[in-house]
Amino acid sequence: MSVQERKPKILIVEDDEAILHVLSLFLSYAHFEVRGARSGKEAMELVPSFGPQLIVLDLNMRPISGWEVLHWLRANKFSPPIRVLVLTASTRLSEQVRGLEEGAVDYLTKPTQPSVLVERIRSILAMSDEALLSLLQKRLLQQRRILEQLVQPGKDEKMNVSIKVH
C-alpha cells in the first residue's frame, strides 16, 4: 500500500466497552485504521506508537480523564498536531467551550449516530490547519456570546439556543 493509500489512523478513547466496540466497527467499515483505548492512561501510552491523525475522546473517565489527555496532548506538541473530537455525555455549554479552549476541534454529545461521527471525522481530516483554526475561533466566539447572554442578571426566561456554523 502506498503512502497515499494508507487509511487515516483514528484512536477512540472510551471507557464504555459497548460504545468503543460499536464506534470501532463503524470507523473500520468507513476505511479508517482504528485503535481503541479504554482509559486516558492507555491512550497516552498508545499515541506515540500508533500516531493517530485524530482522537475521538470521552471526557468522563477515571482515573485519568479526557481533560487530562487534552492537557497532555497540548504539552507534548505532537508534530503534526493530533486533532481531537470530543464525544461525551455532557451537554453543558460551558464544558463545550472549555473543550474547544483546551484544544478539541469539535464536540459531539452522546448519544450520536455513528454515521454522524464518521462524517465529522472526514470533514475534520479534510480541513487545512488554517481552515480548522478559523472554524474553531468562530465556534468559540459564538459559544462565549451565548454563555454571556445566559449569565446576564435578570434573565428569568428560558432560552432556546441553537448554534449554527457555516
Per-position pLDDT tens, the chain of length 166: 445 568 999 999 999 999 999 999 999 999 999 999 999 999 999 999 999 999 999 999 988 999 999 999 999 988 888 999 999 998 888 888 888 888 898 999 999 999 999 999 999 999 887 877 777 777 777 777 777 777 765 544 444 444 444 4
Q: 3: which DSSP letter?
A: G
| CA 61 to chain CA centroid, nearest Å | 14
**Domains defined for the chain, CATH in brackets:** 9-133 (3.40.50.2300)
Cα 3-11-106 angle, rounded to 5 deg = 100
Number of neighbours of residue 42 by Cβ within 10 angstroms: 17
pTM for the model: 0.79
